[in-house]
Structure formats: structure tokens, C-alpha cells
Structure 1
Amino acid sequence: MTDEMLSNTKSERVRRIASLARKKERQAHGRFLVEGPQAVRELLVHRPELTETVYATLGAETWQVEIARLASDAGVRLERATTEVISAMSETVNPQGVVAVARTWAEPTEGALAEARLVAILHEIRDPGNAGTVLRAADAAGADAVIFAGESIDPFHPKVVRSTTGSLFHIPVLVMSTLEEAVEAARASDLSVLAADVRGSDVLEARAEGALDGPIAWVFGNEARGLSEADRVLADRSVRLPIYGAAESLNLATAASVLLYETAFAQRSR
């Protein structure tokens, strides 16, 4: 930890860190921003080797002591900064006094899904909140990996990172150029591929038939368009969640969370 307090919001370092809100800059520098005590804590606990620097205000909050200890244990540099500097670095309005700069990484595709039993494939998912929430739900449901396929949002987008509340650092996250590539990788690891689609069979019917018992890769499509016919035929089966009330539909993150948990329940009740 350095004794100097960073206070210049217009310094080159602050501007460079703030620029990581843009995908082009993240790709150019191989770095991304982690904001808030919870996310920074999970980064330091689960992926300390990726952490470059932590910037935090000086205060009496409980997380201050824990973050300082975790950074020290991991051999990560902790620098103190004013609230204004943390805000200038951050993409969010309220970064809660701490941000970290971490190195991006790429999971090796080959063998990444070996022995996997539950995988989420996000195809053309554009909303960062949805993407982060699905990743968090996949983590909670015990999934083995999440794949961002096609033109899905960058998993290192600041809003995706925040929405995962640390799950980004718990579970393998892969990026594949096409849905076909993701489906091929799933099948190579002996996973059945199910498409979440309103035109599919009822999930309760699928579960009763044992379709959720084995290793499954779920494909979730774009928030507005869903999956095209060409996308759906790549799957072994299409499955839908029934609507029992008057709601027109469920949003992507909610539907994905339910289907991932239904699969986790089925797999654990065999």
C-alpha cells in the first residue's frame, strides 16, 4: 500500500482507467474495471492473480480492512484515492469507494467443458444486466461454464461485471464466435443441447420425460428476437416455461434462472 493519496481526477492514470468502460480500450490494454466492495472482494479471493491494482478511499467501513488484508495477502498493490478520483475512474454513479483494475483472460476452449453437466450459452444477448444476471444464476445453480456466443455483449463490460456480483470470478466464462461453435463444443463434451423458446414443449413435460436429468447445455437467445429457426434447429429440443398468469412473457434473465434451476433440481434428484 502506498502512502500517497491520489487526488487529481484529470491525471493520465485516472483517464486511462476510466477509458476501460469502452470495449476498444479493454481489448487494447487487456484490462477491465471491477467496481464496489463485493466484486473486488470476490476478485481478490478467487482470481487474485488477475488483479493489477486496487484503488480505495480511506475510511472506517468494515470492507476497508478486509480489502486491505486480501490485497496484502495476494501481493496486490493497494492505492488510496479520494472519493472524487474513485468516481472519475468508475463507470457507475456510486462505486462505493473502491475499484480494481484486473487483467482480462480467455478460457481455453479445448477441454473447457470436459465433464460439465450444466452449461449456459448466451446467444446475441445484448443487455449487460441480463447477461450478468444469467451468469450469476448459472453460478448459483452450480453450472460448470457460461458461453458468450455470436454478437453477445463483452463479459468484461463494467455493467456485466457489476451484475454478476462476483460470479464472473467463480465460473469459467468462454467467448465463442458463433452459436454453431458453442453447440459443437457442447456436443463434443456429451451435453444435450436445449433451446429456451416459447414454441417449445413445456418444461414440466420435458422434466417428466427425463430430458433434464443428464448433462445439459441451455441456449438462451436475444432479449427482443429470441432464437431464429436456424438457431433452434441446432438444438436437440426446444423447451418453454408456461405462463400461468396474465403476464405476456418473462424477461430473459428470469426465464434463464428458472430453467437453470429446474435442470439443477432434476440432475440432483436422480
Structure 2
Amino acid sequence: MEPVLSNPQSDRVKKVRALHRRSSRQRAGLFLAEGPQAVRELLRFRPETAQTVYAVADADAELVELAAGRGVPVREVTDAVMTAMCEAQHPQGIAAVARPVDVPLQDALAGDGYVVVLTNVRDPGNAGTVIRGADAAGARCVLVSDASVDIYNPKVVRSTVGSLWHLPVSLGGSVEEIFAACRSAGLRLLATDGIGTQLLPDTDLATPHAWVMGNEAWGLEPEVRDACDEVVRVPIYGHAESLNLAMAATVCMYASAAAAHPKSR
């Protein structure tokens, strides 16, 4: 049994800490999952990608046992080391280093159901929340363009709350490549934008489709919006100026889920 890792300045701790940076994640081919929920879902759904679990002495014993049972090495660390490793100000006592779970674009599109496309989504919290919503609302997959935030950013991973390991997520394609693949898969492209003349309740969601989400600040670029089949607007019934990206995406995704599962309404 390895000794407790107690030096926050050790090379191992620095290597884990470095995974907060995109360049380091890309070089190492690894990323950091923080907190019990993220670690639990990693171990339940994709244990083969887990490299090492780090846990403080009073960490969730069931999670430690789960890691051991899945053949994932567990290294005990002090609270100071856990704080040095994690990005969160108040770490929850357990974290894991894992390999990415990228799915090729064509493989991600091979299933059934609607698709979610993120174009130029830069905010980590929004990206993670959309992935979580896509999981909850039964999306086929999430396709993330090369201009969007790295989904292995610790903030994104935390905000997915484990959904990162529940559904296919494909990364790195250009918008043009993603749109071409969606069309080849028989999907209508539905842009979501506040200037849309098509209202969400009036949109046909019974046929295969992909929701196309844009940047938090400026929405969809005109050429991206023009490349879509319809531009859909979520109606505002009160006095709010607009919905933020994650809220609008969730409303649209649940509308698709309701169309696919009418008996559950």
C-alpha cells in the first residue's frame, strides 16, 4: 500500500494540478473529475477510462470500494493535497484522473432521438449544464464544435454532474462538418435564436432534428443561422428580456422529449 500523499508541492500533485490547463490536458491525454458525483458516475459508466482516484481519509467509503472493485488504483491524500489538486475552492474529498471519452462524430449520430449541437459556446457552466440537460431529456448525443469551450475544463466537468459519462459527446468538428454529418443522418437543423419567427410550440419536433445552440453573448453567427432549416424562438410570456443559453436549451430539449414521449406528459 502506497503511503499517504502529503506534500502539496510534489511532482505528482503538480501534474494533477496542471490538468486545469487545456494545453496540459491535451499533452497528457488526461483530465480531472472532482467531487463524489463525478467520480461515482465515472466509475459506474466508464471505469476503463479512470487512471487514479485520489481520496482523503474520510472520503465516501462506498466510492473507494467501488474504485477498488473496478480495478482503479486509489491513493489516499491529505486535505492540503486535495485542495492543491482541485480547482474548486472547497473540494469534496475525492477526485479522479481519467482519459477523455470522446466519441467519433459518425458513431455519436448512430443512435435514435434528437441531437444537440453547441457552436461557439464558451462558458464552462453553460456547456456543462446543456450536457446535463441533454442527458436528462434523452438526447441522442451532444456535438461540440471546435470553437467551443473544452468540455474537459474542470468547471464543465463539475457542471455536468456526471452526465459526461452518460451519453455520447463528440468534440472538435467544425460547424460545417457537424452540419454535413447531421444532414447525412437525416436530421433537420433547428437554430435557436431570439430573432426567430418560428415559435417553439409551433415547431414540428416529431421528425428527426438537431438543436443548434450559439454563443452566450451574441447568439448564432448569421452564416450558421442561415445554414439551418428553421430559426426557432422560445416565447417569452412575462417581462424577461430573454433566457440564457442553458435555460433556453433545456426548454427546447424538453419540448423534443415531450414530442418523443407523449404518454409521459
TM over 0.5: yes
- Aligned to 1:153, what secondary structure does the other structure show? coil
Moved more, 257-266 or 197-206: 197-206
Q: TM-score, normalised by structure 1?
A: 0.94
- Whether contact under 8 Å (1:32, 1:102) holds in the other structure is yes
**Alpha-carbon distance between aligned partners in 2 of 1:41 and 1:227, rounded to the nearest angstrom:** 35
Does 1:223 pair with 2:216? Answer: yes
1:151-162 map, 5 Å:
151-162=147-158
1:154-173 map, 5 Å:
154-173=150-169
Match of residue 234 from structure 1: 227
Offset of 1:3 from its aligned partner? Answer: 4.7
Offset of 1:65 from its aligned partner? Answer: 1.5
Offset of 1:189 from its aligned partner? Answer: 1.1
Counterpart of 1:99 in structure 2: which amino acid?
A: A
Offset of 1:96 from its aligned partner? Answer: 0.5
Runs of 4+ in 1 over 4 A off after TM superposition: none
Match of residue 201 from structure 2: 204
**Alpha-carbon distance between aligned partners in 1 of 2:214 and 2:251, rounded to the nearest angstrom:** 15
Q: Which of 222, 229, 241 matches 1:248? A: 241
**Alpha-carbon distance between aligned partners in 1 of 2:155 and 2:80, rounded to the nearest angstrom:** 20
Match of residue 37 from structure 1: 36
Match of residue 28 from structure 1: 27
Does 1:11 pair with 2:10? Answer: yes
Moved more, 2-11 or 134-143: 2-11
- Whether contact under 8 Å (1:117, 1:214) holds in the other structure is no
Structure 1: any 5+ residue segments left out of the alignment? Answer: none
CA deviation string 1:20-63 (max 9, x = no partner): 0000000000000000011000000000000000000011x6xx
Structure 2: any 5+ residue segments left out of the alignment? Answer: none
Does 1:190 pair with 2:190? Answer: no
Does 1:56 pair with 2:55? Answer: yes
Q: Which of 138, 144, 149 matches 2:145? A: 149
Offset of 1:162 from its aligned partner? Answer: 0.1
CA deviation string 1:163-210 (max 9, x = no partner): 00000010111013321111111111111110001122111111xxxx
Counterpart of 1:159 in structure 2: which amino acid?
A: K
- Whether contact under 8 Å (2:117, 2:144) holds in the other structure is yes
Instruction: Give the alignment's Cα RMSD to 1 decimal.
Output: 1.2
**Alpha-carbon distance between aligned partners in 2 of 1:44 and 1:129, rounded to the nearest angstrom:** 23
Match of residue 135 from structure 1: 131
Q: 1:29 to 1:3 in 2, by over 3 A?
A: closer
Aligned residues: 262
Offset of 1:109 from its aligned partner? Answer: 2.1
Offset of 1:116 from its aligned partner? Answer: 2.8
Q: Which of 105, 108, 111 matches 1:109? A: 105
Q: TM-score, normalised by structure 2?
A: 0.96
- Whether contact under 8 Å (1:122, 1:221) holds in the other structure is yes
- Whether contact under 8 Å (2:113, 2:138) holds in the other structure is no
Does 1:75 pair with 2:71? Answer: yes
CA deviation string 1:108-160 (max 9, x = no partner): 22332023321110000000000000000000001111011131000111000
- Aligned to 1:21, what secondary structure does the other structure show? coil
Counterpart of 2:199 in structure 1: which amino acid?
A: D
